[in-house]
Amino acid sequence: MSHARQALVVHPAAPDMTEAQRTALSECIDAALACSQACTTGADSCLEEPGVGHLTQVIRAQLNCAAICSASAQILSRFGSDFGPTPASVLRALDDVSALCEDVCRVYAGAYPHCRVTADSCTRVRAAATAMLALD
């Protein structure tokens, strides 16, 4: 059981959530944290490539994705009993930014394995965000 899942189980507002909501939320938080790490490392890996200039768009997309994933995980971790409309907007932003990063990284995935790792991580976080949005 992930730390996010454990925290959601013991949170005082946990009884206000269904099991499906708790599962989707913990998976989304875990995916966002993993994607943030993958994108940060991916951007750093790109910076180590010779002739890094052609990877500027990739690096920028990875850094933006890492930032939105980190912020999203933090916001989603503060759900409380008055979760309100904020999560849907956060999830849409998470999906939008990670989709862009995924698309940019897929172009280079064949040449740079770190871009494939980043793109795969973006795919996972997008699926998790979509699953959460489907619960509404």
Q: How far apart are CA 83 and CA 63, in angstroms?
A: 28
CATH, range 3-134: 1.20.1270.360
Give the pLDDT score at 121. Answer: 98
pTM of this prediction? Answer: 0.92
Give the pLDDT score at 18. Answer: 82
Determine how many CB atoms are found less than 10 A away from the CB of residue 109.
16
Ranges of the chain with pLDDT below 50: none
Give the pLDDT score at 108. Answer: 97
Give the pLDDT score at 14. Answer: 72
Give the pLDDT score at 80. Answer: 66
